A and B are shown apart, each in its own frame.
Chain A
Amino acid sequence: MRSTKLFLSAFVVSTMITAGANATTFVYCSEGSPEGFDSALYTAGTTFDASSRNIYNRLVEFEPGTTKIIPGLAESWSVSDDGLEYTFNLREGVKFHTTDYFTPSRTLNADDVVFSFKRQLDKEHPWHQYTAGTAWEYFNGMSMPDLLKDVVKVNDNTVKFVLNRQEAPMIANLGMDFASILSKEYADQLEAAGNKEDLNQKPVGTGPFKFQDYQKDAVIRYQAHEPYWRGKAAIDNLIFAITPDASVRHQRLAAGECQLNPYPNPADLDAIRADANLKLPEQEGLNVGYLAYNTQLAPFDNPKVRKALNMAINKQAILDAVFQGAGKAAKNPIPPTIWSYNDAITDDPYDPAAAKKMLADEGVTGLKMKIWAMPVQRPYNPNARRMAELIQADFKEVGVDVEIVSYEWGEYLKRSREVERDGAVLLGWTGDNGDPDNFLAVLLGCDAVGGSNRAQWCNDEFEALIQKAKVVSDPAERTKLYEEAQEVFKREAPWATIAHSVVFKAMNNNVEGFKIDPFGGHAFYGVDLKQ
């Protein structure tokens, strides 16, 4: 019964596609399968592309192509004087998607917002455990359960967020994918029908595209949401062609089987540039790859030793061999796309002779050390093994013997946290909300020692600066504090900052209006195909 209905509706749709000659169909060669379509359950960008970034909206959103916050489903908001209450006024008349499986009877209201957050916050909420293994990873990862006291409906169009403590990056957090707004009416319907799991398989949102069909590991199909509150998308049919292999993605793009390849292979960049039908815009990614010394163990507790080693690393060679040109040397712990990036800082020069001398001056000779190389490919480090080999060769030049070690990824993450860890760790970080706090406090704060602070570095001066910046709400003042913190970081050198990835998006020449998202997302509202 259900399958026949599906069959029929799919058939109708398919004939529509072939019939509507003027319909614009955009094919995106996505790099992987989404884990599901309820973005709050997951943390992977691939899943967000397939869900939150095209199907849903948030109260506040990031202006496409920037880390700047703009109004989304909330038209405006205000913060109480004590900084503990955020009140949002919702946009009126926002329509949810009408699909084969759901027809909304009302527009967006405060219930939807309260539902979307309370299901993550409230352990007793009927939707807190709606599918096997629900973990609300991002919500928890951003410490929202500690931060958020309650989400309250004031009236149909007003919602209030009550916080336990002041937190300047709060608004930016609400622009993140886990904060997407779902339909409570749809959830109620699913609950009544007894198939709650469909919330994650057949999504309904307010965003520019509505979900149509998903063939596992192969294709996802979407259609434009006609009454989208920002106006209908230029693309009528959006197709995600799941193509995990990078060289295959390139070949599909070159063959015209798809219009956009989100992650071209560094090796293929020249071929793409040479192809008259393709273009290749680029931007620095919101990430940093680093080598974190264990600053609690001798001789790495000596900033001069760390500095000397930093000077021994030939970053240019790494950029060439590991990033194949898809990287920029990093001098600060935050990427240049984030506000407060301190461009006045100069990087340590590559100078093996001086480095060798510095080491000798500090009485360090015949040093043997370990470098940890991650077993996986990440945007901030496409090939940690190769990077480690290069650094190994560089350090040998200054008389330091390096042994490269690696562990299975989960184990690697765990062991690298340990305060007693032996060796310097190659790792990195991709920003969540575009706030400097999301890098500096998370990766270098004293609270994070024994956790995500892989350098195990706790510096009073640095800590005072970032703690102050957390509670100040004036952006100009925060910027100043963070700029100063970066100076302290450079002087103390707990890491060797290696690189920020440069993100390339390979696309057909007829693609218009695609903006590279600093958060690494792929949103197709505003994109069109030139005829």
Chain B
Amino acid sequence: MTDTVATAPDMDTRKTGRLALLSEFWSYFSENRGAVVGLWFFVFICLIAIFAGVIAPHSPTEQFRDALLVPPVWQEGGSWDYILGTDPVGRDMLSRLIYGSRFSLFIGIIVVSLALAVGIAVGLFAGFMGGRADTIIMRIMDIILSFPSLLLALALVAILGPSLINAMIAIAIVQQPHYVRLTRAAVLTERSKDYVTAAKVAGVRPLRLMFHTILPNCLAPLIVQAALSFSTAILDAAALGFLGMGAQPPTPEWGTMLAEAREFILRAWWVVTLPGIAILMTVLAINLMGDGLRDALDPKLRRT
């Protein structure tokens, strides 16, 4: 009966309020030209990933035994059959790169959702409970943060066994503390504010209070962090793949492709260079977007 008072304003104003917020957000976001470029490029990569099966000229794992290490089309010896050349076992580079986008996006999405979901839950819990539970949780986060993240991820993958899934789990664990800390800090500041006290007094149950009242008010930094860790996840997964601890061949994951092709660095530049460019471009696009998000969501920075 009473819980509608504080949390559910009239539906109509809520809707228009949201629309207004969204258009305000977009106007700030689109002010940043880089962010818009990043967004378009990201959409482009998403489309490639979704329609990989249609766009890719070949299967990413089919080996053309008579076409090992064919150079890209513009180079002498290249052929239109393999626009970006082939790798040491005769697989089409372009197709592998196209399919690789799926893995990179997949890695980003899984890692971010895992880290976000668990991190928010744990952070809310710690911030809300306080006391001993809070201390223990925060100490565990301190312990995780005491190890360089790549080293920790490497050790975790070594334990879990080298595979793409395990690499994603390891990276999500490593990124956990950032979300926990952010959420907890936000909870601590919000908790003392009037509207929360009001809701509490009104008898709103803690769980509802956490998710319905407090969480929406600390979303902005979480979204920015999510964008950041999306790109970090892709980079870390590629690094793990490069060290032989990420996706396993013949998966066309970009980092793994780089590691596999490393011995050909002098003989066939394309097998080494192209996956690297793919990683760089994707990460760059996401970071551009992340910057735009931060500018649009963070009112403090907006003024400067």
Contacts and interface: CB of A to CB of B under 8 A. Distances in A.
Nearest to A250: B266
Given A385-B249, A390-B89, A408 B161 contact: yes
Interface in A293-330: 317, 320-321, 324
Given A389-B63, A393-B63, A320 B68 contact: yes
B65 A270 contact: no
Nearest to B262: A247
B266 A267 contact: yes
A157 interface: no
Interface residues of B, number: 19
Contact of B263 (A267, A390, A406): A267
A266 B268 CA distance: 13
A31 interface: no
A321 B88 CA distance: 7
A284 to B, nearest CB: 22
Given A270-B267, A320-B65, 16 more contacts: A247-B262, A247-B263, A247-B265, A250-B266, A267-B263, A267-B264, A268-B266, A271-B267, A320-B68, A321-B90, A385-B250, A389-B61, A389-B89, A389-B249, A389-B250, A408-B161
Interface string A244-276: 001100110000000000000111101100000
A386 B161 contact: no
A408 B244 CA distance: 12
Nearest to A406: B248
A251 B266 CA distance: 9
26 contacts: A247-B263, A266-B263, A267-B88, A267-B264, A267-B266, A267-B267, A268-B267, A270-B267, A271-B267, A320-B65, A320-B68, A321-B63, A321-B65, A321-B68, A321-B89, A321-B90, A385-B248, A385-B250, A386-B88, A386-B89, A386-B249, A389-B63, A389-B89, A390-B89, A393-B63, A406-B248
Interface residues of A, number: 22
Contact of B63 (A246, A324, A375, A390): A390
A137 to B, nearest CB: 23
A265 B89 contact: no
A246 B264 CA distance: 10
B249 A265 contact: no
A276 to B, nearest CB: 17
Interface string A365-395: 0000000000100000000011001100100
Interface string B68-103: 100000000000000000001110000000000000
A324 B68 CA distance: 10
Interface string B259-293: 00011111110000000000000000000000000
Contact of A271 (B88, B248, B250, B266): B266
Contacts of B266: 247, 250-251, 267-268, 271
A67 to B, nearest CB: 30
A394 to B, nearest CB: 10
Interface in B226-282: 248-250, 262-268
Contacts of B88: 267, 321, 324, 386
Interface string A394-416: 00000000000010100000000
A382 to B, nearest CB: 9
A461 to B, nearest CB: 38
A295 B70 CA distance: 40
Task: State the 3 A-B residue pairs at the shortest beta-carbon distance, nearest first.
Answer: A267-B263, A265-B263, A267-B264
A246 B68 contact: no
A408 B248 CA distance: 13
A110 to B, nearest CB: 48
Nearest to B249: A385
Interface string A315-355: 00100110010000000000000000000000000000000
Nearest to A408: B161
Nearest to B272: A247
Contacts of B89: 321, 386, 389-390
B40 to A, nearest CB: 37
B3 to A, nearest CB: 54
Nearest to A375: B162
Give the residue among A246, A251, A267, A386 with the most B Cβ atoms within 10 A: A267
A320 B249 CA distance: 18
Contacts of A393: 63
A225 B248 CA distance: 48
Contacts of B61: 389
A312 to B, nearest CB: 15
A411 B68 CA distance: 33
A390 B65 CA distance: 10
Contacts of A268: 263, 266-267
Contacts of B263: 246-247, 265-268
A252 to B, nearest CB: 13
A389 B267 CA distance: 23
Contacts of A250: 266
Contacts of A406: 248
A317 B63 CA distance: 11
A439 B265 CA distance: 37
A317 to B, nearest CB: 6
Contacts of B250: 385, 389
A158 B294 CA distance: 83
Nearest to B265: A247
Interface in A50-67: none
Give the residue among A246, A247, A251 with the most B Cβ atoms within 10 A: A247
A278 to B, nearest CB: 13
A359 B89 CA distance: 28
A19 to B, nearest CB: 38
Contacts of B162: 375
Contacts of A386: 88-89, 249
Nearest to B271: A267
Contacts of B68: 320-321
Contacts of A270: 267
Contacts of B248: 385, 406
